[in-house]
Amino acid sequence: MPAYQDDVRRSRSYSLARLGVDHVDIHRPARLDRSVPIEDTIGAIKDMIDAGYVRFVGLSEVDAQTVRRAHAAHPVVDLQIEYSLLSRAVEAEVLPALRESGIGLTAHGVLGRGLLSGNWVPGRADDPRNHAPRFSAENASHNQTRSGGGVAPGRRWEGVEPSAGDPEEIEAAVPKGTARGDRYPRRSWANLGVGNRRLDGQP
């Protein structure tokens, strides 16, 4: 048994024991090991599905090519990835790949991790967002201004029914490409893509 697959099975056993259940609905690798072919990762999860420990396969923070390769190995039900007015890189290739295969999207960071909700306050030493280029001193002010200037647009529309003209107004206020800075530090997220410049020089 390959070491990687053995690690996956061992992690599954620990997780089920901690949760006190005999199966989980979805197994979604939080971050992929780029040194392991996606087909091997999906194969290990498929073995767990066949054994009754897992019901469905999910993915997290991968590009369109990886989605297609994974889905070819075994049906994938959803992709978890950051998607907001400030993080729209998924629209170019990832969303079309999901639509063509009928794969769902579980979006995180939908309010820009605080930039769109007015909940981010600069200067907090214990804030993990400090490590993200998008929240650096040279980028944060621009991103907060372009996303509403801290007026908390995420709350401003609470309970308001959208009108036909709202999408165009929102697009004009926060156009695609507005945000400055990568979503995550490049050195710790090498070749992530999808909103991060890759270390191999690709966008």
**pLDDT tens-digit profile of 43-88?**
989 999 999 999 999 999 899 999 999 999 999 999 999 998 888 8
pLDDT score for 157? 52
* Closest by CA position to 149, among listed 137, 139, 158, 141: 141
Percent of the chain residues topping a pLDDT of 90: 32
Q: Which of 116-120, 157-161, 186-190 has the highest average model confidence (pLDDT)?
A: 116-120
202 phi and psi angles, rounded to 5 deg: -80, 155
* Helix or strand (DSSP H, E) at 77: strand 76-82
Residue 23 predicted with pLDDT over 90: yes
pLDDT score for 125? 81
**Distant-in-sequence, close-in-space partners of 196: CB < 8 Å, separation ≥ 6:** 182, 183, 184, 186, 189
Residue 152 predicted with pLDDT over 50: no
Q: Is the entire prediction scored with pTM above 0.85? A: no
CA distance 73 to 76: 9
pLDDT score for 156? 53
* Helix or strand (DSSP H, E) at 107: strand 104-108
Domains in the chain, ordered, with CATH?
Answer: 1-110 (3.20.20.100), 111-203 (no CATH)
CA distance 29 to 37: 13
The neighbour count for residue 120, using CB atoms within 10 Å, is 20
